[in-house]
Amino acid sequence: MSRSTILGPVFFLITLFVSIEVQASDQETARVFAKASVLIFNRDFTWESPEREFTEFELAILGENLEAVDEMICAALNVGNSVVGAKLMAHFESKRCLLLLRSRFLRPGTYYGWEGGDSGDLGHLSDRHYVYHSRYIEALQALFPNQSLVVALSFTDREIDRLKTIASSDNSRHREWAQWMIHRLML
């Protein structure tokens, strides 16, 4: 783990604790926020759900301090991918960091071929090849149940055209990702 990977959450926690004035006697809140910070700034895409990682009590503490949690999520999405951040947004039905999540979601991804299949067959349309984007779709669908993500995220004609252009380009390294996005978003 690099120094910057460790220092980001540590620096953020110091700033966070000063801003929410955590009492020295509130060790439980500090412990929960330390745990949340490490997870939110982690780039792990295998993370499933808040309920599997946090106790009901820990989730209640985070829910009581949602503004501070949102600040952590926004900071993490500003510097990289955060599946945990997206899943916590969905859990708390928080849309404060939605523009950052939307930006991460629309940022071109690349095809991860370690699961088999290649771009010559339809295997590249499998979610397992777009690990962050598929997790973001899960979180966004939870935030916007029964609603098209294209509508919920207010995709512009230009963004849709960009996806289609990338998907049809033989020279783009993001071609498979764009084809997958079109498939998943039912464009």
Q: How much of the chain, in percent, has pLDDT values that exceed 90?
A: 67
Helices and strands, counts by H and E, the chain = 11, 0
* 3-state DSSP helix/strand/coil % of the chain, to nearest 5: 70, 0, 30
Q: pLDDT by residue (tens digit) across 59-76? A: 999 999 999 999 999 999
pLDDT score, position 141: 96
Note the pLDDT of residue 18.
46
**Between 54 and 131, whose confidence is greater?**
54
pLDDT in tens, 6-54: 555 655 655 555 455 444 338 899 999 999 999 999 988 888 899 999 9
Query: Quick one: pLDDT band at residue 151, thresholds 50, 70, 90?
Result: very high
d(CA 83, CA 111): 18
Token pair recorded at residue 34: 């330390």
Q: What integer is the mean pLDDT of 69-84?
A: 95
Q: 75: which residues sit within 8 A by CB, 6+ positions away?
A: 12, 41
User: Residue 115: pLDDT band by 50, 70, 90 thresholds?
Assistant: low
CA R_g for the chain: 18
Of the pLDDT bands very low, low, confident and very high (cuts 50, 70, 90), residue 181 is very high
pLDDT of residue 44: 86
pTM: 0.81
